[in-house]
Amino acid sequence: MLRTAWKFLFYDKANSLGALLGIVVSTFLIGQQISVFNFITDGIGKIVTTAPGYIWVLDNKTQNINDLHPLDVRIQYQIASLPGVQKVYPVYITNGYVQYEGGDKESVKLIGVEPPDYAGAPAGFFAGTHQDLLPDGGISVDLYEERVFPITDLGATFEINGKRAYVATQTKGVRGFARAFSYTTIDRARWFANGSPYEATVFLVKAAPGASPAQVRDAINDNAFGVRAWLEGELRRTSVIFYLKHSSIVLAIGTMVVFAFISGIAIVGLTLYSSAIDHLRDYGTMKAIGATNGYIRKLIYTQALLFGVPGFAIGQLLIRLFRTAMERQGVLVSFTLEFQLAFFGLICLIALLGAAFASRRVIRLEPAAVFRF
């Protein structure tokens, strides 16, 4: 059957190329949109994923890591006294405005962490160390945030909220959704924002060895007033869902994915249907000499899969080129093996649904009709 399917494809090169193009276009459009979606959702929860291994304590009204409210720092002592808690680290996250000499103001999210542990900051920097944040004015900038920080060289100076700052360390690919991230010490973040030294916006809780993070979370929620504790995965997931519910991201990207799915089915279906019409005599002859409808259907489905596999491979190559171009701008995206397998299954489904549309015409063909052609 495979050999026969190849013969049909090579005999009708024009229709074969058309069906292949449909698969390639669908693969690229779906992969492109999902790449953008993954980057957006990764940025929404980037503050959390950059500092893994903690229980996150926020005010009890917040459903989103990017919308925080001040907390009294004395709450950390109450949390520290609970069973299962090893240590509590205050973090001060606020918004600011960056301005270079002669430039426009750009928004930035300042993340202030407490020395000497620097809990909440990346484990390491692309250039510089955590200790480099200690001198007055020292902050981190991301190499890909050139729109906000036109000069990212170490030592470059600028202003944040009208106060002098300079590049002390560099990150690479640590970017948030809608705002650039800059890490500094907690006292300096308060100073930039004119905040109170008695305030924090997040407490990071390290569970004691052997303690269950879920049980520590529950203990905090049961005993600490005015705050809510989250496991890392919970907070990231809730933040992403909050943004998706309150924005048109899902609608915009989902529409493009559905369009690519439907257009792929239409292109493959119409192309295979046209090919089936052109080969009615051949299919009729096969049925006249004993080929069953099941065999004919499998033959057409096999042709569709022969489009799907190379079409998916070519589409993946185009997606790889697209992602490489995105990475040069700091848009870092990766796909898991499970997603790739599901994606391949989706493309095969597109090919098979298109083939189902074409096979209906051939299945209705009577074997005796071959003598009328």
Q: Output the average pLDDT for the chain.
A: 86
Query: How far is it, in rounded angstroms, from Cα 247 to Cα 250?
Result: 8
Which of 96-100, 105-109, 198-202, 357-361 shows the lowest mean pLDDT across its residues?
A: 357-361
Backbone angles phi, psi at 83, to 5 degrees: -65, 145
- Which is higher by pLDDT, 198 or 270? 198
CA–CA separation, 10 and 18 (whole Å): 13
**Confidence class for position 364, pLDDT limits 50, 70, 90:** low
Lowest mean pLDDT among 83-92, 234-243, 263-272: 263-272
Whole-number percent of the chain with pLDDT over 90: 43
Per the rule left: phi > 0, alpha: psi between -120 and 50, beta: everything else, 137 is left
pTM for the structure as a whole: 0.79
Task: Tell me if 168 sits within 8 A of 128, measured CB to CB.
Answer: yes
Confidence of residue 129 (pLDDT cuts 50, 70, 90): very high
- Peptide bond between residue 197 and the one before it cis (omega within 30 degrees of 0): no
Q: What is the C-alpha separation between 172 and 151, in angstroms, rounded?
A: 14
Supply the DSSP symbol for 265. Answer: H
Task: Give, in order, the Cα–Cα distances in Å from 222 to each of 7, 227, 274, 363.
Answer: 70, 10, 67, 66
pLDDT score of 369 more than 60: no
Q: What is the CA radius of gyration of the chain?
A: 29
Q: Which of 202-211, 242-251, 279-288, 309-318 has the lowest mean pLDDT?
A: 279-288
Q: Say if residue 370's pLDDT is above 60.
A: no
Express each pLDDT in 46-84 by its tens digit.
999 999 999 999 999 888 898 899 999 999 999 999 999
Given pLDDT bands bounded at 50, 70 and 90, which one contains residue 1?
low
Give yes or no for a contact between 31 and 315, defined as CB atoms under 8 angstroms apart.
Answer: yes
- Please report which helix (H) or strand (E) contains residue 170, including its range: strand 163-171
pLDDT score of 261: 83
Asked if pLDDT for residue 354 goes beyond 60, the answer is yes
8 Å CB contact between 232 and 52: yes
Written as six digits, the tokens of 95 are: 């918004």
pLDDT at 320 over 80: yes
Q: What is the band of 2 on the pLDDT scale with cuts at 50, 70, 90?
A: low
- How sure is the predictor about 38, in pLDDT bands with cuts at 50, 70 and 90? confident
Residue 193: pLDDT over 70: yes
- Residue 308: per-residue pLDDT: 83
Indicate the angle between helix axes 249-278 and 280-288, nearest 10 degrees. Answer: 70
